[in-house]
């Protein structure tokens, strides 16, 4: 993992929310929130909350008596999240999932949507989740399956790599789509101290209004943007145009069907 892979700053949060929210994140956010419906009181910790897409889904799915603490490493993401949701049972807080500023056994559930892939020390983050969970509490998260099972993202990633053959920007395949080995995930959770682990592949379908909409989101609303700009200042729009063309060639010039697969993981303390 590159040191820049978790850098969601500048204009990235706004592009991420506008172009990727409904395209890739909301379907799985609703899935996670539905799995938490057994939580009727107490506290839920969200790690890597981003712009609050799962947070908003949890507010809809859970009773208002449940307190939600939504955290992220990137303050810029939380700043945008605050503008999208004001709820009396939600607190926003900057925090590193590998070193949580919370007491032992203080949460009924810990939730993380597409964030564990970005943790440099995943077992450390898992130990922290275990530490802050109450006995019997659940750690619920998802991670993308391989790029081959997420074709829209693969087309954009392949196009970016093709444009820089001598120094390919591999953020998409390296980090968000680089942690899909179920055996590894289970092993690292068990190493952290979790004993009851289940991993389920989940398929979702969403739609982008156009190929360009998807291309903008993936090239300009993720840290891929920083990789492109570091290699070729001034060529970001060109890469976005090429990614758009590649998507049109694969999916047609119109509404894009985005078939996705993720692994949903539940681990109990």
Measured from the Cβ of residue 252, the count of other Cβ atoms closer than 10 Å reads 11
- The domain segmentation of the chain, as residue ranges, is 12-268
Predicted pLDDT at 5:
75
pLDDT of residue 7: 80
User: What is the predicted pLDDT for the residue at 2?
Assistant: 67
Residue 6's pLDDT is what? 76
Note whether 169 and 231 are within 8 A (CB).
yes
pLDDT, position 141: 98
pLDDT value at residue 3 = 62
- What is the pLDDT at residue 1? 63
Q: Which CATH number fits domain 12-268: 3.40.50.10490, 3.40.50.150, 3.60.21.10, 3.30.497.10?
A: 3.40.50.150
Listed as ranges, residues in the chain with pLDDT below 50 are none
CA dist list (Å): 200 to 35, 71, 165, 186, 203: 12, 25, 36, 12, 10
């Amino acid at each position: 993992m590159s040191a820049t892979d978790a850098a969601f700053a500048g204009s990235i949060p706004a592009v991420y929310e506008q172009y990727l929210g409904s395209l890739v994140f909301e379907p799985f956010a609703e899935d996670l929130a539905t799995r938490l419906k057994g939580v009727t009181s107490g506290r839920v910790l969200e790690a890597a909350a981003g712009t609050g897409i799962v947070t908003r889904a949890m507010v809809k799915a859970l009773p208002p008596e449940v307190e939600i603490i939504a955290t992220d490493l990137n303050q810029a993401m939380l700043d945008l999240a605050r503008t999208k949701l004001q709820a009396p049972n939600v607190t926003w807080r900057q925090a590193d999932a590998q070193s949580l500023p919370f007491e032992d056994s203080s949460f009924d559930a810990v939730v993380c949507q597409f964030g564990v892939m970005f943790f440099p020390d995943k077992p450390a983050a898992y130990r922290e989740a275990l530490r802050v969970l109450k006995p019997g509490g659940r750690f619920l998260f998802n991670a993308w399956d391989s790029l081959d099972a997420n074709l829209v993202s693969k087309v954009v990633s392949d196009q970016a790599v093709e444009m820089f053959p001598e120094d390919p920007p591999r953020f998409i395949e390296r980090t968000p789509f680089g942690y899909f080995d179920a055996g590894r995930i289970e092993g690292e959770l068990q190493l952290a101290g979790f004993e009851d682990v289940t991993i389920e592949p989940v398929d979702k379908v969403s739609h982008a209004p156009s190929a360009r909409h998807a291309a903008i989101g993936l090239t300009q609303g993720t840290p891929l943007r920083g990789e492109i700009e570091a290699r070729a200042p001034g060529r970001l729009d060109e890469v976005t145009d090429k990614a758009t063309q590649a998507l049109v060639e694969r999916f047609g010039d119109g509404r894009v069907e985005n078939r996705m697969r993720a692994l949903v993981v539940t681990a109990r303390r």
